[in-house]
Structure 1
Amino acid sequence: MQKKTYDWQQLEHSALTPIYVNSNEELQKRCQHWLTLPMIAIDTEFQRVDTFYPIAGLIQIGDDQQCYLIDPLKITDYQPLAELFQANSVLKIIHAGSEDLELFKQLIGVLPKPLYDTQIAAAFLGWGFTMGLQRLLEHTLQITIGKAETTSNWLQRPLTTKQELYAALDVAYLAEVCQQQIKQMQDRNCYPWFLEDSVRNLTVLESVDDDLESDNYYLRFSQLWSVADYKLVALKELSRWRENECRIRNMPRNWLLKNQTIISIINNWPGNTAELGKVEDMRSKNIREDGAAILAILDAAKERLSESGEVQKINKPIDPVWNKRFKKIRQIAVAAAQEQGIAVEILVRKKDLEALVRTRQLYGEYRIPDGLKGWREQLIGDQVLDLMRQFEK
């Protein structure tokens, strides 16, 4: 990585007077400079109270000299930022960036890469899993920043001085933290693991297809794994209808239909408006505006099933016998994590263990699932598979 000084104390001071970027021309100019740097820190402030999509209030950038506040209420052309985000020569540093990435994808159309998440790096260093920024800065730089503005109104203009400072400080320290973390991960030989996960996580996010997500949302209703096929078809169609409508109307899912309401509809199978009105948490407004569409989905379910022939089943919940077995597998993971000095949660997740159990039904034998491949398989793969085979004796 190109050598360049990122003085966190200078950046901290600059946060007192952050530079606003509030025109397309200014954004173009700044992005040209940022393209020459080895790394930048990024963050966002947004609101998501009564909408499906987050509404951007600010995009913060920290470079080698200054903290910047990009105003999404003034910017109309994000192409320069998209080019910056796609530049492989510039590392983008973020902290706990999942929601920020969702906003970037929706607002700008691309995800920043290469991407470095300081929260994930903290887990690889054994500092803690899902470590907040406040704790991270206390740990690395022995400084304390406040949280008072976290839930303030980021769409108001002008922003308060406290809001500006809070937002700017979020990107003032990340370059220093990143450089410290990289050195420590290299010393511990776990930096290649971190890079592997970073690339894989971003690849997964980039491959997300909204239409496919809508089609498969019903698979999350694990409580309904055993319903009849025609009800499964209705669940799939009803879930897809809600996803599409919420995107079109830009409203939260629960404002249209709560998950529990969908479950009640499928279980009770109302045949008319009166019966629909008896469904749990079914609002009169929903019935008035959307009742006909909901009932039409139920009415057409059996015909759809006969046309398609089959529908993908929801995974049956893992047998409770595996709860004790998972604890034994976790013991292997804990021992390996302690030896390597990483957070055990970054090594093994419950959903990966469940996927491991299901491989036997798919292949006739236990195999390492995708979520445990790579460095995880090298670290504990053989031990885990040996234990799985012992369970079957």
Structure 2
Amino acid sequence: MQAFELITTKEGLEHFGQINADIEWMCFDSEFVGEKRFTTRLCLIQVATEHGLFLIDPFPLKNLGPFLKMIEDPNIIKITHAGENDYRLLYATHGTIPKNTFDTQIAAGFLGYRYPLAFKKLVETELKINLNKSFTVADWEARPFNQNQLKYAIQDIEPLYDLWKKQEAELSRHQRLHWAEEEFRTLEREAYYARDPHHEALNSDLMKSLNKRERLFLLRLFEWRRKTAEEKNYSKEMVLPSKFMSQIVRSMRSGRAGLRENRRIPDKFAGDLWPVMNELYIREISEDEKFLLRQVPTEDEENANEEILTEFLYLIIRHQCMQKGVSHSLALPRNWFKKIKNDPGFAEEVFTQGWRKELFGDTFIRWLSQPDNLRIEIKPDVIELRLADN
């Protein structure tokens, strides 16, 4: 392992920025802790450049400006593995949006590996280096740092440069570098980091099985949990464990007594929190809430035939991706099928341009853009998937 510089002062960070003012590339990673809090805490930043290895301790530093400036500099290529998590945290805490990115996990998805792939597995396979991952869940908030922790942190960035150069050459050889670069650009769009505050509620499996009033209450319960967690900087599970939600929602029709008599529900929901629960249940529905609830599909809308068609199409797409050596999870994430069904324009936007159009071709795009018109016909020696109007 090479020597590294641990940066803990404003002067040290400014010097770091000065000596790296002329760089063309940087590898970086971060360690953070998200357990038992709403806002994830950034605990350590690891950086490798042509000028050396650096560890930045953000705790004593009020301003990470020199580092953040490098992340936003379009003239510096940023090399990460699974960088989405790091970029999402930097955006949430500092409003930073990266420019000029290369992600080795995404790149691996275009080179025959499954996606997502662990860094340890990729490094061992491509570079024949065995990484020690014994500090993956170490207490990164503890100070002073354990020296073994810092060694672990350094090994997360040391292989990135060689991995980048090897993957870049392989992508170019397979004429897929422009595919990967297009996908990297996703990490550079601010919209990618915006979170719908109601996403969790609207995608809850519980929501689909409830009646209208129960759905409204569940929508409000999710919102109350999120806002309370944010206000107290607790995790959402600390405010209200998800395992209690179904019991609370179904017991509310019987009022306070229903909550009190359900032995699976903590006493506080019929006690100190009862006024909150009751207000959430009896408040008149707003126009915004009506709009949100219209987005929830009913169980009747998801019929068995549609489920079979979706599964059949997904398997065909997986086969196509396997034949081309591209991860199907990268090309078409499973949850996109719901987006395609709810918004046919989504398929047109995603699949009629860029690398996915090159990969799938016009036939797949027609299938994906018209999922409700797909039909399966089983004939002697043939299983046929076609559009109903053809």
- TM (norm. structure 1) is 0.84
Question: Is residue 20–residue 49 contact of structure 2 (8 Å, CA) maintained in 1?
Answer: yes
Residue 7 (structure 1) aligns with: none
Equivalents in 1 of 2:20, 2:305: separation in Å? 54
2:167 is aligned to 181
Q: Percent identity?
A: 19
Q: How many residues align?
A: 369
Please show how residues 14-163 of structure 1 align to structure 2 within 5 Å.
Answer: 14=2, 17-163=3-149
> 1:185 offset after TM fit, Å?
0.7
* SS in structure 2 of the partner of residue 137 of structure 1: helix
Q: Which amino acid aligns with 1:315?
A: P
2:278 to 283, 295, 299: 295
Other structure's SS at 2:46 match: strand
Letter of the aligned partner of 2:252 in structure 1?
Answer: W
Instruction: Give the letter for the 1:357 counterpart.
Output: K
Aligned counterparts of 2:291 and 2:216: Cα–Cα separation in 1 = 9
Instruction: Output the CA distance in 2 between the equivalents of 1:61 and 1:298.
Output: 50
Q: Contact (CA 8 Å) 1:233, 1:305: kept in 2 or not?
A: no
Report which stretch shifted further, 280-289 or 262-271. 280-289
**1:89 Cα deviation (Å)?**
0.7
Match of 2:310 among 295, 305, 326: 326
For 2:332 and 2:261, locate their aligned partners in 1 and report how far apart those are by CA, in whole Å.
Answer: 43
What is the letter of the counterpart of residue 22 of structure 2? T
Does residue 231 in structure 1 map to residue 231 in structure 2? no
Q: Secondary structure at the match of 2:102?
A: strand
CA contact (8 A) 2:19 2:51 kept: no
Q: Which residue of 2 aligns with 1:249?
A: 232
Equivalent runs, 1:259-270 vs 2, <5 Å: 259-270=242-253
- In 2, Cα distance between equivalents of 1:321 and 1:349: 21
The answer (yes or no) to whether the contact 2:171–2:177 under 8 Å persists in 1 is yes
Q: 1:343 aligns with which of 311, 327, 332?
A: 327
Conservation of the 8 A alpha-carbon contact between 2:13 and 2:66: yes
Aligned to 1:368: 347
1:220 corresponding residue in structure 2: 203
Given that 1:60 and 1:167 are in contact with CA atoms closer than 8 Å, whether structure 2 keeps it comes out as yes
Paired with 2:190 and 2:262, the residues of 1 have a C-alpha distance of 37
1:188 Cα offset (Å): 0.8
Q: Deviations over 1:305-336 (max 9, x none)?
A: 47976543213464332343234323442443
Once the two structures are TM-superposed, the CA of residue 131 in structure 1 deviates from its matched residue by 1.4
Instruction: Give the alignment's Cα RMSD to 1 decimal.
Output: 2.7
Distance 1:331 1:226 in 2: 28
Q: Which amino acid aligns with 1:377?
A: K
Q: Which runs of 5+ in 2 are unaligned?
A: 376-386
Distance verdict in 2 for CA 1:115–1:316, change over 3 Å: farther
C-alpha displacement at 1:344, in angstroms?
2.4
Map residues 173-212 of structure 1 onto 2, 5 A cutoff: 173-203=159-189, 206-209=192-195
Q: Look up the equivalent residue of 1:25 and give its one-letter code.
A: E
Distance 1:243 1:92 in 2: 33
Deviation at 1:258, TM superposition (A): 2.3
Change (3 A) 1:178 1:159: same
- The one-letter amino acid of 2:359's match is L
Residue 122 of structure 1 and its aligned partner are, at CA, apart by 0.6
Where in structure 1 are there 5+ consecutive unaligned residues?
A: 1-12
In terms of mean alpha carbon deviation, does 340-349 or 172-181 score higher?
Answer: 340-349
Deviations 1:276-327 (A, max 9, x none): 3345753234554433212211121xx2247976543213464332343234
Alignment-derived partner of residue 297 in structure 2: 315
Equivalent residues of 2:44, 2:56 under 8 A apart: yes
The code of the aligned residue for 2:134 comes to: A
1:41 partner amino acid: C
Counterpart of 2:60 in structure 1: which amino acid? Answer: K
Shift of 1:106: 2.9
Q: 2:360 is matched with which residue?
A: 380
TM-score, with structure 2 as normaliser? 0.85
